[in-house]
Every structure is written in structure tokens, then in C-alpha cells.
Structure 1
Amino acid sequence: MPTIVWPSSRPKDAISRDPSLRAKIGPFITKLSGGATSVGLHVEPIRGSVDRRVRTARVTDFYRAVLFELDGGGQRVYVVYGIWPHDEAIAVARTVTVGINPYNGAAQVTDVRDGVGQDGQAVEEARRDARQRLADARREAEEIAREAARIEADNAEARRRMEEAGAPAPAGRVAGAEATPGVVVATRDNPPAWPDGLTVESLRDELGIDVRLAAAALAATRESELLDLAATAEPSWQGEALLALATGSDIEDVRENFELRHPRDVTTEQPTDEEVIAGLRTRAARSAFTWLETDEDLRRAIEGLTFAQWQLFLHPQQRFLVERRWNGPMRISGGAGTGKTVVTVHRAADLARRHAEAAESQLHGLGSESAPRILLTTFTRNLADDLRRQVAQLAPGVTFAEKVGEPGLLVSGLDKVARAILQRAGEDIAPVAERVLGRRRTRVLTYARNDLWQDVLALAGDKLPPDLQSADFLASEYELVVLPQHVTTLQQYVRVRRPGRGVSLDRRKRAAVWSAMERYRDRCTELDATSFAEQLALAAAWLDDEAGRGSARPYQHVLVDEAQDLTPSHLLLLRALVEPGPDDLFLAEDSHQRIYGKKIVLNHYGINIRGRSRRLTRNYRTTRQNLALAFGILDQGVYEDMEGQAEEHRYLSPRSGPEPVLLHADSKAEELDAAAQLLRRWLEDDFEHQGAEPGAAGAESLAILVRDRYQRDAVVTGLAERGIEVRPVDREAVGRGRPVVMTMHRAKGLEFRKVLLFDVSKASIPRALRDQQYSDADRADALLRERSLLYVAATRARDHLAVSWTGEPSPLLEGIVDLG
């Protein structure tokens, strides 16, 4: 069967002008997959063409596809370029050619009519024309956005007619939907931050980027200009490469991420078909073309799914992170919406696929026992459930495991994994408990109360120095220092290192703190209780003991999403679940989104990255306007990643939208009035632009995010009194229906088209700093977590973002709101 290479980013062909043509693509692909002799296909060479391999093929009586027929060593490979009306298709076919970029080896289709020199004269001409190219790109980007909005509106109208045929349309405007008052936040639009010494010539010579595009990019004075240019770049990988360079990558990073060859390794002669096919396999080329090689690929293409629906879109930098094999633990980082979860899910599916292919080729199918043992995990149950849904969508044939250590892919929270291990250990956990907790215990599955440290303070707090009489300090010291290092005696605690704690303890103070630790452990023993962190540490130690006796570790690969929220005990368990070696651990994290755990460094807990780190810098969710406000929240904080290095927040978004709105109120009732008015306006917009009745379909994309559950319930009641029906969300799925109200913590991992951050006032956030006594170091860390929480909430908004408060605004809005 021939292999089909299908364009994922098409030229301006007939499909963009005639949406009805999409329904014809499936039958065409079916015929083409049967070979050139398929009935009705009429694959024909073109007389007088510049490329002997170009063909046209019948799609309908009116339309023909332009494609190239390559010889892949006896296997036909059809590279589809686009679809046009018959005569236009013939004209296009005469002037297009498929080859490889002479500077990087990536395959590309070029039209000789658009050919331009790449020599010194062309560089100077490109520099002169750079500003015009930027202006043209801006107009083209605006046209693309208008066309996308039109298509979305047409699709929404079609869905409405199918789903609500015969339903009466509401008459008139939504009551009270007057323009919402508020202050519009001006978006920052900084200059691109290029690597030192970057020139048009170096972009051409080192990466093979077109000189016209390179000159325009370096002439851009604002990020928005560069984003518009990148969005319209052809081939698309060149725009992606420029964005990577403007956000911290260097030439070698780009070459590796996009799988580009060094110019000295590229042939200067006419490339063979095999060389073109190899060039089509590069990540750069696969940003423009998709290989249809399996029955599942063909099925999805024939069903007419979009490329984004089809593969949970990967750009070349993401694809590199999915496919690269590593000799040890790997860490990727990136801001909200940069695709960390997409990469993690794809990598889990890719590892499962590779194992399945290896087993089939070597062992000719051993059944379920040949399936790999892979764990995909994260911090919370809600996020784990979402990860499983994404894997099922991406790889329908994957074998899911239901228990720890079973063949297949297990998707589970780490706390649940630890509990399963302890249940398997049973009473044999006693010697492990003695070594980890200093108590020989057999019953360790009952969870300890959250207020046990308060009990310890009540009983023994007077023996501590005043500055250490804090439940948060004691809990942090226990979980960050004592538990992960298996400290069970005062002598050990006096000598143990306490990296990053920020509070100096002499021998006398350590003795007082240790007395409190002993009191806590005694109390837990009396109650037969353990904390989550203790269960994790016990499970890790049990697995290490089993491995020492010759038992295999439960997993071959462990992948972690939202790793920044893990505790030291989580990290100990991760290290114990998989044998050190190639592709053992894969961690996706964003230190700016750390809203639960304390700041930790991976190599303190046996996870040594040693340079195996990569950073994603392109945001795919949030508009650049919303992202600018979110960055304003982070600007006042100093962040470190999980390797202890300074964490930057230089991310770009290709999406543009309305400026965020700030709503100030003098009373809680006035703030609720403003919120009700804003929601009415948003619901009316949904009705006008999508054809959905306000409060019905589509309203699940509206969310009000608050700091805690008490505020959530008050908002639900207050909006109901003002005629706005909203739905509180706790642990359950968000679902469809009315706009939702949830805590900022619960919203993590979700996204909505429109978001209101309610009551971002001095009295509400940073809330945790009022509820606890902290050491200076722990207070600073708690403030960072509060800042991260507000950042997470702001980045849940795809299109519209509003922030409201009563009285004085939160100090976390410094730089965004005038706090004077």
C-alpha cells in the first residue's frame, strides 16, 4: 500500500475557499491509499512541469489534487501539496517542485514563481523590504484570524441547527447587558530578545531560514510583530524556529529541536527520492506534513478530523521532546499553556507504541505480558483522570493497567500508588517503618488529621523558641528534612544537612525541635495514623528493600505532570518505582505554578538531571494580552526551577484578544453587581456569536474563580439573587451547562474562554499568610505560592479575562493596579 504524506498546513488552495470540499477528502484518500490505478483516481503526470515527479489526481469532476510521486525503495510515497480547480491545479503543478533545503536537509515544496535568491544582494534587498514584509504579515494574520472566526461561527451555527432544530430563539437582548464599566489594562509589547550576534546571514547559513523572513524578523521592534510574522511564515517551522530564538534558544537548540542537519552535511547535488523522503521525516518538515502510515492514521484523516483534533497538535520542539531517547531522568519546563501536558501524554503513548512494536517484531506477539509497564502520574486525582482521557483519545489501542506493576499504562495519582504498595506490603512493613519513622509499626494506612501539628504545639510548644512555635515550620522541617533522610534519633538530626531551609538551628534549638518531632511520631503511633508524606516515604523504602532482595522495580518508565507540586517523599517514591537507566523518569514542571508543595531541588532526592532539561516557550492557550497581566503578577517574585536555577517567564503567545478588564468596587454587594453585569454581557456575546441561548450550550466556557470554598458559595448565592444562575464545582467534572464557580486551586489544569477572578482584594489574597505563623524563609515561600496561585488562575482564560476586588486590591497586583 502506498504511503501518503498529507499537508497539515496547506497553501491557499481550494479547501480554504470551498469548505464543502472537506467532505470529498475522505474518499480521495481512500482511493489514493489503494494506489495510482484506483478506479476514478486518474493520477497523471504533467507535461512541461519543472519537477518530473509531480502529478495531479482527480478529487471531483471539478477539483484535482497536486501531488508528488516518490520512490521509497520500491514503496510508493505520495506527497500531497494541495487541491485546486482543474485548470488551476494544472498550472500549479507545472511550477512546483519538492526538494530539500540546501542549508539544513529538511524537505520542502517550493514554487519557482516565488523563487528568490539567497545571496548577498538578496540579503540587502530583504533588509530594505523588511518593514513592508512585517506590514504584510500583520494584514495576513488579521485575515487568518477573521477567517478562523468566520469558520468557527459557521460551525457553531451548524451545530445549533442540528442540536436545537425547532427550538424557539430568545427575543431581544439579555436584560441588564449594558456595557460593563472597568479599567482596561494596557498590554506590554516588548522587543524580541535575540541571541547576541544573530544576523540575517547566520539565520540563512546555520539554519536555512529564508532571507526575506529572517530580515523581517530581525527588523521587528515588538513581540506582536514577530508573532504575526511567525504565524504567516512558510514553511511554518521557520516561524517556530524564530520564536524559539527570541525566547532563549540558541542556534544549536533549534537545530536539535527541528532535526536540522549542519550545512556541511547537506548534499549540493539534485537530491534523490530517498533523500527527499528522509527530509520529509525531519521534525521541521513534519510541521507542514503528516505521514498517513497506519490504518488508524487513514481512518482519522478519512473522517475529516482537523489536524489539532487528530494528533493533539505537536510543533517540532514538542515532537523532539516526545521522540528523543535519554540516558537518564529528563525534565521539561514551561509556562501555563505551553504544552507540557500534551508532550507528556504523547511521550507516554510513544513509549507504549515503541515497546509494542519491538515485542511484535522480536517475539511475534506475546499477548498482554509483552506490554510495557509505564506509569503516568501527577499530583491530584482530578488531573490524573484528565490525563487518562487524553491518552485514550490520542492512542485508542493502548493497554491500560489497573493495578500497580501490571503490564500496560497505569494513570494514577502518586498517593494512590503509595497506598497500593503499602497494602501489598501488609505487616511486613514493620521493619521499614522502624527504619523510616523510628517506630516498629504494622498499621500505617489510616490518614493522620491535618491538625496534629497544632496538637503538638499545644502540648510541647512552650519548649520551643518563640520564632519556631509554628505548626507550618514544624511540618515543613519534618517533610523536607527529617522524613526524606530517614532521621530517627537526635544524634542524626543534629548532624543532618538542611539545604534551603533558611532558618539556622544551633544544637539547642535542634534538640527542642526534635522533641516536637518525637511527640508528633508518638501521637501518630497512638492513633495508628500516618500522613500522606509518611506513606510515600514508607512505600519508597519498601520498594528499595524489595529491589535489594532481587525483585524488579514496578515500572520501566515513569512520567510525571505538574512535578513542581511534589514533595520530597513523592520524589523518593518516583526514584524507587523505576530502575535508573535510559528513559526512566520524565518530569514536566513549571515552578511558576507551584501552589502546593515547598520549593525543592531534584538532586537532593536522587534524581540527577545533569543537563537533560529543555524549556517550552510558546503559549498555545492564552492571548498575549492575558499573558501580559499574568506575567505582571509574577514580576515581583523570584523563582527557581527544580534544579535550583533561576526560572524566567519569557513566553510568547500567537493569539491576540481583548485587553483584560479591572473592576473595582467599594462594597461586596457592588462587586457582585459588577460581576452579574459582566456575566450577562459575556452570555449575550455567546448568544450573538455562537447562536446558543444564554445559560445553555457554551456557557461551560465561562468561569468565576475565587480563593476558597466559602467565597465560592457566597458568589453562587449572590449571583443567584441577581438573576444569574451559576454552578459551584468541587471535585466533580466541570461538564456542560451554566457558568461555573470554583476555587483557584480546583481550576488548575483547566481552561475557559472567559474568566472572572473575583475578590482579588487585600483581605482575600494572599490569604495563607494571615492564617499561619511562618519563619521568614517559609513566609517568603508561602508568598510565592500565593503569587503562583493567582498566576495559575489568570492563565485559565483563553480569550477574556477580568479581575475584580472590593476595597484595596491585593498587593499581588502591584505593577498592574495603582496600589497608592
Structure 2
Amino acid sequence: MEADQVLDGLDPEQLAVARAVRGPVCVLAGAGTGKTRAITHRIAYAVASGVVPETGVLAVTFTARAAAEMRTRLRALGAPRVQARTFHAAALRQLGFFWPKIVGGPLPRLVESKVRLVADAARTSGLALGRTELRDLASEIEWAKATQTRPEDYENAAAKAGRAAPLGPREVARVFEAYEELRREHNLLDFEAMLELTAAVLTEHADVAAQVREQYRYFVVDEYQDVSPLQQLLLDTWLGERDDLCVVGDPNQTIYSFTGATPGYLTGFSVRHPDAAVIRLVRDYRSTPQVVRLANGVIGQARGAAARHRLELVAQRPDGPEPGFTAYDDEVAEASAVAAKAAALIESGVPAREIAVLFRVNAQSEPYEQAFTDAGVPYVMRGADRFFDRAEVRQAIHLLQGARRADDDAAMVVAVRHILAGIGLSPEPPGGGSARARWESLAALAQLAEDVAAEHPGATMADFVEELRARAAAQHAPELEGATLASLHAAKGLEWDAVFLVGLTEGMMPIVYADTAEQVEEERRLLYVGVTRAREHLALSWSLARSPGGRKNRRPSRFLDGLRPASPSLAAERPPRRAFSGPQPCRVCGQPLTAAAERKLGRCADCPADYDEALLDRLREWRAAESREQKVPAYVVFTDATLQAIAERAPSSAAELGAIPGVGAVKLNRYGAAVLGLCGADPAGD
């Protein structure tokens, strides 16, 4: 690809980023402003214009998913050999390469979860702890290591940082020290030790440092607001005395300080690099002006150091519905109403996978799991664990590998489903909790097998296992179908058409243990992250009591002050689509329509209607074919009422088709041309 072609389609600020091919460069990028687009085009432009060879670039981000997306975009831009990795993946690759040369023997074994080793360390320290305490203690040790805190310094560091440790500081320090002793004794590496050891190897071996710095001369770090002192140490070691570095981040989205992350490296970048170019991306291409206005309102009340670097977003999308604010009597009522609204959105054309319910802590998920099950709305739980790291997925892949030489390769899909059925894949999903999460994982593998068979007729079990291996290496998880239930932290970096932010009460948002001013401000930023996940529909809600009949003494989050209607009578949510906006009149008799099917038709069910029966038959045949091709129920394409309304109105343009309730922007984009063609209209006519 020619260098100038790489710059096509960039807005002025993105173009400035792409053309700033020499560091140091600091990009302050707001939510939805196209930061990944800007930095991948910058890398591709630098490669195409001869500033740096592909193999000389190291782009670092924080999740395997983000790194995979970056690699995909760079391949499309003609730079397939650029290395885009997480900090840990880059460090492990370098350690694995140099270890045999400088130490000899195999690399120490990597421990992906600290909990078991922490349990052994706790027993050594004379402590009997439950799994929750062990998990919290493991997180505390991670924080200490990420901030370069040694066991002997933990008590003072924790007091200075205002840490709410799961045990007394002295006990934590004792377990931390025992943990490190056990880790070294058994020749183990955790993720933090891996970063530290990589930095140490580069520092102590000049020849290794020279080789790495000769290889990588051009650095890009995404999500720089989430860098920890340990990660910054490794980055400085990679750089040496050079400054060809581009960092990208958003101070407004700093939500991981509990893991040791600090926005100080981002906000202080121009102090460390006085000659740095600082470019701001504020054009929001993700969300409607209504969502953007609320996001700016939430972060506009921020205080403290990060507030001085606040980015005010400028919406680029057309208008959408206003965000809704709703108070409910109790948590059960809140969950039931959210499930009903999610069902209505699906009925109106929003795919289930484009809907998310976000809460502050995972413990809030239970009533939503139950409510979505009762409402018949499919859902998936999104947690911190990566798909291919889940126990049930590892078990399934192990069994599938054992069956890859099965004689009946032609029946690969049947064989896969048979194997998965033996470990829990049933025809219908279980009600909720861990059993439901396990089922969703297995169902995703079964669907992936069908997709592979459809795309590659004659694919064998060996082919499917190879597909799984490649996906696991790239952390390219199959897409799970259903509305997403997730914590606000787990939602970072994702986006949906419709987002429900639930449980927004004092004590939950901000969380009750946010004691310091900075901790409260981080809670505000967490809400901001939640708001900016929504493209079009956004609903914010809270419950006045925990249980039905309980005391209604809860107050909505202070972060909503001045943003929500002040009077309780005005706190009802503005509906997400016209179908909920009031009494729509029948186009035949003028009476108000109350039933959803009648509102779709635009008339009472018993009012006469004139329509082309042949057209309705054609629409039904087309829908059946789409249903088979997509492997979804027919109503997911269009409901009967929507097909009837299309047949009655026979739209002649995209605007007319889009105005029919049940079509919506998503389905108009996906099916509009085909439906207008069936109606005898020219799809390109408007």
C-alpha cells in the first residue's frame, strides 16, 4: 500500500497522529474517538514511508483481544509483520529466546493463577483462609509486585496508598514473603516476576539489551493510563536512551489503580519529554449526541489531577433517544424491568449480543440472571477469565484433540456435539450461575464447529482442532450469542448498541469502601466508562430497597446529581424506541394502540387492512432462507407482525422501511436492500 493511501479516511486529528511518525508523541484519546485507527495508521504510514521497517516496531497493549485487533488492522494496512503484543506476551517471548543462552536449561514455569501458591504460603504462615480471602490476598500481592513493593516495605506502602487489605498489613507482608520464597524454591514465574526478570536480563546483559534495542526501535503503547510502575520499568529498559515512543491513553478512563496502574505516566508525559507532540482526539464516532452529553456531564464534575486533563467529547453521530433514569422499588423489580426492556429491544431489531447490563460488582448479577432466564432472553456472563483459559474449554479441547483421528470425519459437527454433551452441553441452557457460564462456553464451541463446517465443507475433526489451536494462540474467542451481563471493569474496551447501567446507589456507586477523594474520583471514572460503552440506547437505574417489601432508604448515586430529573415523578425512563413513546393511534380508526404487535402494524388487530398477499408470501420465504443461513430462529430476522407491516405498507425507500416499527437501523442496514427488492423498490433509489 502506498504511503498516502494509508492516510485516506482519517479526520484532521487522526491525520495529525498518523503524520507524527517520530517520537516522542502523546495521544490523549477520548472514548470512541478512533484511537486504534489512528495509531495503526501511524504505524502503517511510518512503515510505508520508510521511517521504520515492519520488524522494528513493537506495539504494546493490555489485552490479547486488543493486540489481536491491532494485528488484524495492520495486516489490512500492509504491515503484517509488525509485532503487536501485550506487555506479558512480549516479555515472555524475549525471555524464552534469551534464557537458554544466558542461563541455560528451560525457562521457569509460568504460574497463571496465584491462588494455589498463596494458599500454600498462607498455611506456611499459620493462616487458614477461605477461597475468597485467598483470591483477595493474591490480588494484594499482585498490587505490591506491580508497584515494585517488597514484602518488607509492604506495611508502609499499603498505609500510604490507603489499601483496604483482606488481612492485617503485617499478616499480608508475612504471606507475601512466604509466597516469594515458595515461588523461587519451586522455580516458578508469575506475571509480575516475568516482567521484572525481563528488565533485569536486559539491564545485566549488555549484549542482550543491544540485540533487543537493535530489533525494536519504534514503540507504541496503548492504554497508557493503565501502566504500572513495573510495566514502565520494562518499557524504559526496552527504550534505553531513545525516545521514539508514542503513547496513547485517556485519563478519564483510569479505573485500575487497585492493580497498581497510575495515570501519572500519561499525564506527566510532556514533563518527562518536553519536546513531545501532544495530540487530542475528541470526535466521538461511537455514541449518539445524547449519550455523549451525559458522558461529558459525568466526567465534567471530576476533581483532582486527572480532571486537569479532562477531554470533552464532540459527538459525530446523528441524534438518538435520551438516556433514561429510573428508580425501582427493589432489586427484583429493577432486574425484571431491565429484562423486559431487553426483550423489547430484541423484538424491535436490536441483536441480543448488542445489549449489555453492567453493574459495579459481580455479586449483583444473580437477580439479572434469574430475570433474563424468566423472560426467555439469552445472556452470557462476561468475567475476567479469557475464553480459552476456562476450565471447561480446556477440558473440551483436550477431549477433541483425543478424537481428532476419529474415522467418521465427515460427521465432524455431530462428533463435536457428542463429545461436548458428555461434559455438560445440554439442548437447553441451565438457569444461571456457574452452570450457565459453563454451558455458554460449550455452546460456543459447538457453534464454532458448525461455522467451520459451513465455511469449509468436508472439514475434519483434525481441521477443527487446528482452528481451535490457532484461535487459542491469538486469543480469538468465538462470539457468544446473548445479552452480556458484566461488571463495569470487565466492560472496559467494549461497546454495545444498548447499555443498562444498574444498581446505581450510594454505597455501590461509589462503592462503600471508596474512602479517599481519589478513590471516589476513580468510581466516577468507572461510571463514565459505563456510559461511554453505549452507542445508542442507554438506561441508568437504581432500586430503593434490596428486597420486595424492604425499607426504601437507598439514595441514587451522587454522580447523577444534576444529570437526572430532580423530581421522582420525572424519573421514568424515556423509551428507547418509538414503540414505547406514548399512545400511537391506529391508522385506520384512530384509537390508541396498546399491544406491541398492533403498534408494529400501525392499526388495531381487527381493523381492516389492504396488503399484497403474494408479497407477504415472498417475505416469509425470504425470512425462512435467512433463518436457515444464519442458524437463528425466524423471529430473530423479523417477527410475523413486522413482516405483516412491511407487506401492508410496501415501502419504496429505505426511509419508509426504516420507519416501520421492528425494523430499526441495524436490520435496515442488514436486510434493507433485500426487503426493498422484494417490495419492488429500487434499494438505491434514495
TM-score over 0.5 (shorter chain)? yes
Name the CA distance, whole Å, in 2 between partners of 1:793 and 1:473: 25
CA contact (8 A) 1:444 1:535 kept: no
Amino acid at match of 2:289: R
**Aligned residue number for residue 311 of structure 2:** 649
1:753 Cα deviation from its structure 2 partner = 1.9
Amino acid at match of 2:250: D
Task: Please point out which of 298, 301, 306 is paired with 1:633.
Answer: 298
**Aligned residue number for residue 250 of structure 2:** 590
Distance verdict in 2 for CA 1:442–1:471, change over 3 Å: closer
| 1:283-306 residue CA offsets vs partner (Å, 9 max, x unmatched) | xxxxxxxxxx95996xxxxxxxxx
**Aligned residue number for residue 792 of structure 1:** 529
Paired residues for 1:408-557 under 5 Å:
408-426=81-99, 443=108, 445-447=110-112, 449-450=114-115, 476-482=143-149, 501=160, 518-547=177-206, 550-553=210-213, 554-557=215-218
CA contact (8 A) 2:158 2:169 kept: no
- State the TM-score, normalized to the length of structure 2: 0.55
Distance verdict in 2 for CA 1:378–1:527, change over 3 Å: same
Distance verdict in 2 for CA 1:295–1:476, change over 3 Å: closer
Percentage of pairs with the same residue: 25
1:511 Cα deviation from its structure 2 partner = 11
Paired residues for 1:758-777 under 5 Å:
758-762=502-506, 764-767=508-511, 770=513
1:798 Cα deviation from its structure 2 partner = 1.3
Amino acid at match of 2:234: L
Alignment partner of 1:706 is 2:351: no
Q: How many positions carry a matched residue from both structures?
A: 446
CA contact (8 A) 1:563 1:588 kept: yes
CA contact (8 A) 2:224 2:263 kept: no
CA contact (8 A) 1:422 1:445 kept: no
Name the CA distance, whole Å, in 1 between partners of 2:380 and 2:14: 36
CA contact (8 A) 1:639 1:647 kept: no
Distance verdict in 2 for CA 1:294–1:476, change over 3 Å: closer
CA contact (8 A) 1:752 1:797 kept: yes
1:461 Cα deviation from its structure 2 partner = 11
Distance verdict in 2 for CA 1:764–1:502, change over 3 Å: closer
Name the CA distance, whole Å, in 2 between partners of 1:333 and 1:671: 37
Look up the SS of the partner of 2:540 in the other structure.
strand
Amino acid at match of 1:480: T
Amino acid at match of 2:146: E
Amino acid at match of 2:493: G
Amino acid at match of 1:521: E
Distance verdict in 2 for CA 1:746–1:819, change over 3 Å: farther
**Aligned residue number for residue 668 of structure 1:** 331
Distance verdict in 2 for CA 1:448–1:780, change over 3 Å: farther
CA contact (8 A) 1:338 1:621 kept: yes
Name the CA distance, whole Å, in 1 between partners of 2:159 and 2:232: 17
Task: Please point out which of 55, 60, 72 is paired with 1:389.
Answer: 72
CA contact (8 A) 2:287 2:534 kept: yes
- State the TM-score, normalized to the length of structure 1: 0.47
Task: Please point out which of 726, 738, 744 is paired with 2:488.
Answer: 744
Name the CA distance, whole Å, in 1 between partners of 2:495 and 2:542: 22
Alpha-carbon RMSD = 4.4
Name the CA distance, whole Å, in 1 between partners of 2:357 and 2:310: 28
Name the CA distance, whole Å, in 1 between partners of 2:337 and 2:175: 49
Name the CA distance, whole Å, in 2 between partners of 1:751 and 1:566: 22
Name the CA distance, whole Å, in 2 between partners of 1:708 and 1:513: 24
Name the CA distance, whole Å, in 1 between partners of 2:567 and 2:101: 59
Name the CA distance, whole Å, in 2 between partners of 1:457 and 1:765: 33
Name the CA distance, whole Å, in 1 between partners of 2:500 and 2:141: 36
CA contact (8 A) 2:212 2:238 kept: no
**Aligned residue number for residue 12 of structure 2:** 316
CA contact (8 A) 1:734 1:740 kept: no
Name the CA distance, whole Å, in 2 between partners of 1:500 and 1:608: 28
CA contact (8 A) 2:7 2:15 kept: no
Task: Please point out which of 618, 639, 658 is paired with 2:321.
Answer: 658
Paired residues for 1:317-336 under 5 Å:
317-326=13-22, 328-336=23-31
Look up the SS of the partner of 2:33 in the other structure.
coil
Name the CA distance, whole Å, in 2 between partners of 1:500 and 1:329: 35
Distance verdict in 2 for CA 1:333–1:453, change over 3 Å: farther
Amino acid at match of 1:665: Y
Amino acid at match of 2:557: P
**Aligned residue number for residue 602 of structure 1:** 265
Task: Please point out which of 678, 681, 700 is paired with 2:344.
Answer: 681
Name the CA distance, whole Å, in 2 between partners of 1:555 and 1:295: 21
**Aligned residue number for residue 227 of structure 2:** 566
Name the CA distance, whole Å, in 1 between partners of 2:65 and 2:555: 31
CA contact (8 A) 1:533 1:567 kept: no
Alignment partner of 1:347 is 2:347: no
Amino acid at match of 1:559: V
Distance verdict in 2 for CA 1:784–1:450, change over 3 Å: farther
CA contact (8 A) 1:595 1:789 kept: yes
Distance verdict in 2 for CA 1:314–1:611, change over 3 Å: same
| 1:697-740 residue CA offsets vs partner (Å, 9 max, x unmatched) | x4433222233445446524321212323344454558485433
Alignment partner of 1:726 is 2:359: no
1:500 Cα deviation from its structure 2 partner = 12
CA contact (8 A) 2:494 2:533 kept: yes
1:661 Cα deviation from its structure 2 partner = 0.3
Amino acid at match of 2:31: A
More helix as a share of residues:
2
Look up the SS of the partner of 2:283 in the other structure.
coil
**Aligned residue number for residue 119 of structure 1:** none
| 1:175-200 residue CA offsets vs partner (Å, 9 max, x unmatched) | xxxxxxxxxxxxxxxxxxxxxxxxxx
Distance verdict in 2 for CA 1:444–1:566, change over 3 Å: farther
Look up the SS of the partner of 1:663 in the other structure.
strand
Look up the SS of the partner of 1:719 in the other structure.
helix
Amino acid at match of 1:416: A
Amino acid at match of 2:314: L
Distance verdict in 2 for CA 1:783–1:416, change over 3 Å: farther
1:792 Cα deviation from its structure 2 partner = 1.1
Name the CA distance, whole Å, in 2 between partners of 1:569 and 1:751: 29
Amino acid at match of 1:663: T
CA contact (8 A) 2:111 2:191 kept: no
Paired residues for 1:215-230 under 5 Å:
none
1:354 Cα deviation from its structure 2 partner = 2.4
Report the more deviating stretch, 805-814 or 671-680: 805-814
**Aligned residue number for residue 62 of structure 2:** 379
Amino acid at match of 1:577: W
1:455 Cα deviation from its structure 2 partner = 7.7
Name the CA distance, whole Å, in 1 between partners of 2:43 and 2:366: 38
Distance verdict in 2 for CA 1:454–1:625, change over 3 Å: farther
CA contact (8 A) 1:345 1:390 kept: yes
Name the CA distance, whole Å, in 2 between partners of 1:500 and 1:581: 36
**Aligned residue number for residue 179 of structure 1:** none
Task: Please point out which of 782, 798, 803 is paired with 2:540.
Answer: 803
CA contact (8 A) 2:226 2:263 kept: no
CA contact (8 A) 2:62 2:87 kept: yes
